[in-house]
Homo-oligomer: A and B are copies of this chain.
């Protein structure tokens, strides 16, 4: 089926209570593609600068990610610097350098335009829509966003949401976007903007999915050593969309399974800095952890 993602490819500098790293591979599209690559063919749309080293290109190629839509522009690659305290739920941004991302003009290679599964990672909603318009007949469009766009570009975001089937959003942002403090009401409100499925990400508390078929509550995997939460949301989305694209049947049962697959990928991501854990996964590890999620939530009928 193929799965297209537009988002950022970046250098991250991250400090957590457990260590720090400088200028490591990061970015929403990088985490997404890597996670999704375990399930389906991924087509990446992003921009990097002249400073982007060949070893990262080789890594993406090794994961069989199609990078014909990865532009190389004059200037430096997008850089993000962040810090997490013991409360690992909240990233504190210390510095953001947009660099080549500031003038990013996403253009889809002709070979990308027939893709049916599309993920619009967390970037300017204007760029999200610009990408979506170049896809001829998308079957499933999912989208992520953040408080920055909700506050700075609410009109543009709502325009994009009209064409989105599934929105992944964190809890505080769902409340902010809907202006509703109760999550059930918030989700219902956001549905009126376009998406039929709302996936509320709650970090260490898992995820809640709202749709016309009902509500699904997915746990987070209780991890003894969360090392670095960077990329968890995008790894979740990558596993989620990668799995849906591979089964190519979007019903409630498959969406639930896809949410668990996404949760599995997020649970691996946070075990190490950057893509260190995601890059060396095996299918057996993924399956085993899926089964652990099953065990984690199972209870008998009354």
Which residue of chain B has the shortest Cβ distance to A86 in the bound complex?
B181
Identify which of B214, B219, B261 contacts A219 (C-beta below 8 A). B219
Which residues of the other chain, B, contact A183 by a CB distance below 8 angstroms? Answer: 222
Instruction: Verify if A46 is at the interface (C-beta below 8 Å from B).
Output: no
Q: Are B217 and A222 in contact (CB under 8 A)?
A: yes
Q: Are B257 and A223 in contact (CB under 8 A)?
A: no
Identify which of B223, B225, B295 contacts A214 (C-beta below 8 A). B295
Q: Are A222 and B184 in contact (CB under 8 A)?
A: yes
Residues of chain A in range 206-230 having any CB-CB distance to chain B below 8 Å? 206, 208, 214-220, 222-226
Given the known inter-chain contacts A202-B205, A208-B222, A223-B184, please indicate yes or no for A256 contacting B300, CB distance below 8 A. yes
Q: Are A297 and B217 in contact (CB under 8 A)?
A: yes
Residues of chain A in range 224-242 having any CB-CB distance to chain B below 8 Å? 224-226
Which residues of the other chain, B, contact A225 by a CB distance below 8 angstroms? Answer: 182
Q: Are A287 and B260 in contact (CB under 8 A)?
A: no
Identify which of B185, B223, B297 contacts A297 (C-beta below 8 A). B297
Q: Are A222 and B215 in contact (CB under 8 A)?
A: yes
Question: Which secondary structure characterizes the binding site on chain A?
Answer: mixed
Q: Are B217 and A219 in contact (CB under 8 A)?
A: yes
CB distance from A241 to the nearest CB of B (A): 16
Which residues of the other chain, B, contact A257 by a CB distance below 8 angstroms? Answer: 299-300, 302
Which residue of chain B has the shortest Cβ distance to A200 in the bound complex?
B222
Which residues of the other chain, B, contact A86 by a CB distance below 8 angstroms? Answer: 181
Which residue of chain B has the shortest Cβ distance to A260 in the bound complex?
B299
* Docked CA distance A297–B182 (Å): 20
Which residue of chain B has the shortest Cβ distance to A214 in the bound complex?
B295
Instruction: Verify if A31 is at the interface (C-beta below 8 Å from B).
Output: no
Q: Are A185 and B253 in contact (CB under 8 A)?
A: no
Q: Are B299 and A182 in contact (CB under 8 A)?
A: no
Which residue of chain B has the shortest Cβ distance to A187 in the bound complex?
B222
Which residue of chain B has the shortest Cβ distance to A261 in the bound complex?
B302
Residues of chain A in range 258-302 having any CB-CB distance to chain B below 8 Å? 259-261, 287, 290-291, 294-302
Q: Are A296 and B217 in contact (CB under 8 A)?
A: yes
Which residue numbers of A lie inside 8 Å of B, CB to CB?
Answer: 86, 181-185, 202, 205-206, 208, 214-220, 222-226, 253, 256-257, 259-261, 287, 290-291, 294-302
A-B contact pairs, 14 of them (CB 8 A): A185-B224, A202-B205, A205-B205, A205-B206, A206-B217, A206-B219, A214-B295, A219-B219, A253-B300, A256-B299, A257-B302, A287-B302, A290-B302, A291-B301
